[in-house]
Copies of this chain bind each other. A is one copy, B any other.
């Protein structure tokens, strides 16, 4: 039981994940309101926008304006995502905290279907971007292996392929003389289960025992927090999550896919087990209710509806 980490780091993805999948338009002012409210809860990094093609992702058509509108709180980083050179240029021209990454996809078919690039072409693109990051003095912090547990095109991801892709990420970092913080394994479309989590993390650890791992998990099939628990037991201490469970993958190839694991639920589970998150849970629950108001429908977070336990605790 002493193998749980003392503290975890949460990267809030709710705004980007939520806005990009939303069919109904949301006023820019309200988007900024949500981001600014999240920044008051103790979250230190908030992913705000995708600089993507507005024809493919209408909910992100106002990405540049939104990025400009956010009133930034000191000590909080406001990040964005890009999927091509054009998006990267838009990111450079924004006031956001531009943080480079090395992003690869373990599934060749998912890569081709969602980015029009196969794995080799993605590696070449990442190489070019690493040069660009260096020229723009942009820090490069984490590598990402997308679809690390499976995808709807290829099924389960063979673990040797995940290990190979982690190796590709590390090689790219070496080539570019970049010292990564670690590598994210992303369950992009919700294929992971806790046992697979243990096996995959175990295989990566066997090859790189000291490499910090992080997780980006979708709760498509309800196993999200069980996957987190399996990973916590293996010392994983960094997670992406999404306030109120906002979002989902717009390219997942099937409808109804749930969003990322829910930030309040993650914070609740960790704090209850004595793991610090740096987040004020009751404040975050209020923001989750604000998100329901902004999105105009019930959102899937559990703690936001069940309530935290703080009010019942003896003082």
Contact = CB atoms under 8 A, between A and B. Distances in A.
Interface of A: 1, 4, 150, 152-153, 155, 190-191, 193-196, 198-199, 219-223, 225-226, 228-230, 254, 256-258, 262, 265, 268-269, 272-274, 298, 300-303, 305-309, 312-314
Contacts of A221: 265, 268-269, 302-303, 306-309
Contacts of A193: 269, 272-273
A223 B194 CA distance: 13
A265 B314 CA distance: 34
Contacts of A300: 300
A256 B299 CA distance: 13
A198 B307 CA distance: 23
Contact of A303 (B191, B196, B222): B222
A260 to B, nearest CB: 13
A219 B269 contact: no
Q: Give the number of times this chain occurs in the complex, counting copies.
A: 2
B195 A273 contact: yes
B269 A223 contact: yes
B150 A1 contact: no
Contact of A226 (B155, B229, B262): B229
A314 B151 CA distance: 12
Contacts of A303: 221-222
Nearest to A308: B221
26 contacts: A1-B195, A1-B198, A1-B199, A4-B195, A150-B312, A153-B312, A155-B312, A193-B269, A193-B272, A194-B273, A195-B274, A221-B303, A221-B306, A222-B225, A222-B265, A222-B268, A222-B269, A222-B301, A222-B302, A222-B303, A225-B226, A226-B229, A256-B307, A257-B306, A258-B306, A298-B298
Given A193-B269, A300-B300, A307-B256, A262 B222 contact: yes
A313 B314 CA distance: 50
A270 to B, nearest CB: 9
A155 B194 contact: no
